[in-house]
Amino acid sequence: MTATHRGERALSSFPGLAERLAAVQGQIADAVRLADRSADDVTTIVVTKFHPAGLIEALAELGVHDIGENRHQEAQAKAQQLSALDLRWHFIGQVQGKKARQVRAYADVIHAVDRESLVSALASTESVVDAFVQVNLTDDPARGGASPDAVLPLVERVLETPGLRLLGLMAVAPLGAAPRAAFAQVRELGERVRQVAPDATKLSMGMSADYADAVAEGATHLRIGSAITGNRPIER
Ligand SMILES: *Cc1c(COP(=O)(O)O)cnc(C)c1O
C-alpha cells in the first residue's frame, strides 16, 4: 500500500480530526491577523503524545509537517515507524542526560534544554540540532525549565557548544495564572537573549488552552495537542 493510501485509510479512523484541525487553524489565522503578524512566522506543532502512529499518518495526510512528542521511547518508536513520511519531529519533553544522544538521533528540534549538564550531553561535532532553552515561569523546579535568572548563562553555554543551534526560548504558562502576562514575560526575556544571540528570535509557547494569547505575545512555535487530536487515550 502506498503512503497516500495508508494516510487516507488512517484518516477515516479518526473522525472529527480534519474538522478540529481546520477549526484550530482558523483560530490561529484570526489571532495572527489580530496581532498584525505574518502567518509564515507561526509554526503549528501538533502534539501527538499517547496517540497511535496512525493518528500521525492521518495528520500527514491533512498536510501537517510538525509533530511534537514528549516521551523518548514513544517518540523514537513513532519516528522509526513513520520515517517514510516528510515530518519534522519536535521533542518537547524533559530530556534525561543519558538519553540525550538517542533523542538527538531522531529529533529535528529539542524544545526543553534546561540545564548545563544537558547542554554538554547534547554536544556533537558531527551534526547540528535546533534547540530551545526552556524557561520555568513557576517556583516549582519539577515543572522543568531554567529559572529566569539562569536563562542567560544557559544561553551562553548553548552558544559555545558545538552541534546545537539556538532558536530561542520555550515556556509553558503556569497553571492558574493569566497566560498572556506569562507569555509577555517570555517575550521580554527573549529580547534580552537576542542581545547575546541575535539569531535566536523564536518563541515556543502556546498550547490548546492559550495559543491565541501566545500568538499575541509573539509565539513562533505553537505546541497544540488535545484541541486538534481530541482527548489523549491515557492521561498521566
Ligand atoms: C502535552 C504538551 C503540549 C500540548 O498540550 P495540549 O494542552 O494538549 O495542547 C504542549 N507542550 C508540552 C510541553 C506538552 O507536554
Q: Tell me, what DSSP letter sits at residue 179?
A: H
Protein residue with least CA distance to atom 4, ligand 1: 225
List pLDDT tens digits, range 24-80.
Answer: 999 999 999 999 999 999 999 999 999 999 999 999 999 999 999 999 999 999 999
pLDDT band of 235, cuts 50, 70, 90: low
List pLDDT tens digits, range 125-174.
Answer: 999 999 999 999 999 988 999 999 999 999 999 999 999 999 999 999 99
Name the 3-class secondary structure at 65.
coil
Instruction: Select from 92, 110, 135, 213 the residue to mutate for testing ligand 1; criterion: most ligand atoms less than 8 Å from CB.
Output: 92
Q: Strand (E) positions, the chain?
A: 43-47, 66-69, 88-91, 109-113, 129-134, 164-170, 202-204, 221-224
What is the C-alpha to C-alpha distance for residues 236 and 222, in angstroms, rounded to an integer? 22
Q: State if residue 49 touches ligand 1 by the CB under 6 angstroms criterion.
A: yes
Q: Which three cell numbers stand for residue 69?
A: 512528542
List pLDDT tens digits, range 176-196.
Answer: 889 999 999 999 999 999 999
* pLDDT value, residue 234: 66
Q: Cα separations (Å) of 165 from 90, 111, 159?
A: 14, 12, 7
* pLDDT value, residue 87: 98
CB neighbours (10 Å) of residue 167? 22
Name the 3-class secondary structure at 57.
helix
**pTM to 2 decimals?**
0.96
What is the C-alpha to C-alpha distance for residues 173 and 136, in angstroms, rounded to an integer? 9
Q: State if residue 208 touches ligand 1 by the CB under 6 angstroms criterion.
A: yes
> What angle, rounded to 10 degrees, do the helices at 53-61 and 3-12 form?
110
The shares of helix, strand and coil residues in the chain, as percent rounded to the nearest 5, are 45, 15, 35
